[in-house]
Structure 1
Amino acid sequence: MQEDNGISFFGALWNGLVWLVQNIAESFYNFGYAVTHPQLWLDWSDKEAVMRFVYYGGSVEFFFVIFTFVLILTAIGMVYRNFMWGMVRGLEGFANTVGRFFAWAGLLMVLQQIIIVFMQRVFARPDLSFGLGIPVTLDVSWWSEELKLYNAMVVCLCATYTFVQGGHVRVDLVYSGLSHRAKRVVDMFGSLFFMMPMAIVTWLYGWYFLWRHLIVPNPSASDQLDRLLMKARAMRWNVETIGFSPNGFNGYFLFKILLVTFAAMVFIHAIAFFYRSWLEFVEGEGSAGKYLDKDTLGEGEEAYEGTH
């Protein structure tokens, strides 16, 4: 009995390895075919193209195209460290740029809330008008509910920026006492087995959650491509525009887009964090924080940095 269990285990392991190699090999063909036939998934005047886009966005094929691309870049970077440092600087720069821009949404949220309070309590107006030349006039409740969008922008689009800046709250029981290289091993393990899987799962749930609020019939994660192409015959756009109140904010589909964007940015930064950790592990303690673009409050304010 134990011998049979051992054989079945190694058989399953072998089948899994064969499946992995096959999908990596097929990813080159899938990528080439998608690039040379963009009209099959980007021509959204064709309903079948929309359904192909929906299917491949959450498919095994798409995952292995990304997986293979990352493997190739990683292999090149491990041979040419300057190339990997370049990727780290580029990806961290992307996170910083996006985060620094959308962090202003926090200020915009505060200013808009002040205006809403004044218009309601002081001027007793039921609506607000914003704009230059052609004003946009909407009910006060619309502007009040729309404040949640600014908050979602800060949460979803500034998460990786905050990670680069070291601003996330940490509960450290062991990490601080480890050596430099041991810390880098922990960082690499965390990026591979925590950040990336979390981002992938969030993407898969968020992708179909988004499209169920954009089109009907609703696509499902369990639908195969042929079933989605059959649904394409009855497909029509049905963008979610329902608010919580009669005159409230009606762009809630934007939150679904932000969720998918958040997952993509976390996955991308997990790659950057793994690369930085590996480079700092290989190059030693002198490379800790190399090329790291962190915000500063100015000379003499170092004690307050990273406490936000």
Structure 2
Amino acid sequence: MDEANTTGVLGGLLDAVTWLVTQIAMAFYNLGYAITHPQLWLDWSNPEAVMRVVYYGGSVEFFFVVFTTVLVLTAVGIWRNAFLWGGVIALEGFANALGRVAAWAGLIMVLQQVIIVFMQRIFAASEISLGFGTAVSFDVSWWSEELKLYNAMIVALCVSYTFVQHGHVRVDLFYSPARFRTKKIIDIFGALFFMMPIAVITWMYGWFFLWRHLVTPKPSASEGLDRLLMKARAFRWNVETIGFSPNGFNAYFLFKVLLVAFAGLVFLQAVALLWRSYLEFREGEESEARYLDRDSLSDTTTESAEHVLETR
């Protein structure tokens, strides 16, 4: 009985390893085929191309294309550390650039809220128009509900930027007193077993959640490619434009787009954290925060703040 169980376990492991190796090998073919046949998924005037994007965007094939790409780049980077540092600089630079732009949504949100209060309380206006020449007019409640979009933009698009800037809350009960290389091992473990899996799961649910509010017939994560291609015969765009109130904000599909963007940015930042942690572990404490583009106050602002503290 024990021998039969052992044989079954070993057979299952062998099947799993074979499946994994096969998927990694097929990733090179799938990526090459997608690049050499862009009309199959980029021609969105063809409903079947849209359905291929819907299917492959949340598929096992797409996951292994991304997984294999990261695996190959990591292997090259272990051989040539300068290449891996370049990847870290590129990913963290992208996170910083996107976050610094998206952060301005906070200022727009505040200004728009002030305008809404003035228009409602002082001028008793029911609509607000915006534009030069041909103005865009919406009910005040529409502009008021739209404020949620700015908040969602800050959360979704600034998540990796905040991580690069070390702005996230960290529980340091075990991490803070640890040695330098122990911290790097913790970061590597966290990137591989927490950040990446959560980002992948969020992407898988968010991807089909998004497309169910963009097209008809509604796609499902359990449907295969053949089934979705059959649905393409009845395909039509059906972008969600329903608000919570009759005159309220009616572009809630944008929140679904931001959810997918959030998952993608978290995954990319996990890759950056993995690479940086490995490089700092290998090169020692002198490499800590190397090439890290952190925001800092100007000297004048710092001196002013110190003067205020001294006077108090």
Superposition TM-score tier, normalisation by shorter sequence: over 0.9
Secondary structure at 2:137 match in 1: strand
- 1:223 corresponds in structure 2 to 223
Secondary structure at 2:176 match in 1: helix
Find the aligned partners of 1:161 and 1:179 in 2 and give their Cα distance.
Answer: 26
Are 2:174 and 1:174 equivalent residues in the alignment? yes
Deviation at 1:133, TM superposition (A): 2.1
Deviation at 1:78, TM superposition (A): 0.6
For residues 135-194 of structure 1, the C-alpha deviation after alignment (integer angstroms, 9 at most, x for no partner) is 111100000000000000000000000000000011121111111000000000000000
For residues 108-148 of structure 1, the C-alpha deviation after alignment (integer angstroms, 9 at most, x for no partner) is 00100000000000000000011122211110000000000
Deviation at 1:301, TM superposition (A): 4.2
- 1:134 corresponds in structure 2 to 134
1:163-202 residue pairs with structure 2 within 5 A?
163-202=163-202
Find the aligned partners of 1:32 and 1:288 in 2 and give their Cα distance.
Answer: 37
Give structure 2 stretches of 5+ with no counterpart. Answer: 306-312
Mean Cα displacement is larger for which, 289-298 or 157-166?
289-298
Are 2:310 and 1:287 equivalent residues in the alignment? no
- 2:210 corresponds in structure 1 to 210
Are 2:265 and 1:262 equivalent residues in the alignment? no
Deviation at 1:9, TM superposition (A): 1.4
- 1:246 corresponds in structure 2 to 246
Secondary structure at 1:173 match in 2: coil
Secondary structure at 1:177 match in 2: coil
For residues 26-76 of structure 1, the C-alpha deviation after alignment (integer angstroms, 9 at most, x for no partner) is 111111111111111111111111111100000111111111111111011
Question: Under a length normalisation based on structure 2, what TM-score does the superposition of the two structures give?
Answer: 0.95
- 2:310 corresponds in structure 1 to none
Secondary structure at 1:213 match in 2: coil
Mean Cα displacement is larger for which, 256-265 or 292-301?
292-301
Find the aligned partners of 2:4 and 2:293 in 1 and give their Cα distance.
Answer: 56
What root-mean-square deviation, in Å, do the aligned CA atoms of Structure 1 and Structure 2 show?
Answer: 1.2
- 1:107 corresponds in structure 2 to 107
- 1:32 corresponds in structure 2 to 32
For residues 63-120 of structure 1, the C-alpha deviation after alignment (integer angstroms, 9 at most, x for no partner) is 1111111111101111111111111011000000000000010010010000000000
- 1:154 corresponds in structure 2 to 154
Secondary structure at 1:198 match in 2: helix
The total of aligned residue pairs comes to 303
Find the aligned partners of 2:2 and 2:168 in 1 and give their Cα distance.
Answer: 48
Find the aligned partners of 2:286 and 2:7 in 1 and give their Cα distance.
Answer: 48
- 1:51 corresponds in structure 2 to 51
Which residue identity lines up with residue 19 of structure 1 in the other structure? W
Secondary structure at 2:143 match in 1: helix
Find the aligned partners of 2:132 and 2:188 in 1 and give their Cα distance.
Answer: 50
Deviation at 1:298, TM superposition (A): 3.0
Give structure 1 stretches of 5+ with no counterpart. Answer: none
Question: Under a length normalisation based on structure 1, what TM-score does the superposition of the two structures give?
Answer: 0.96
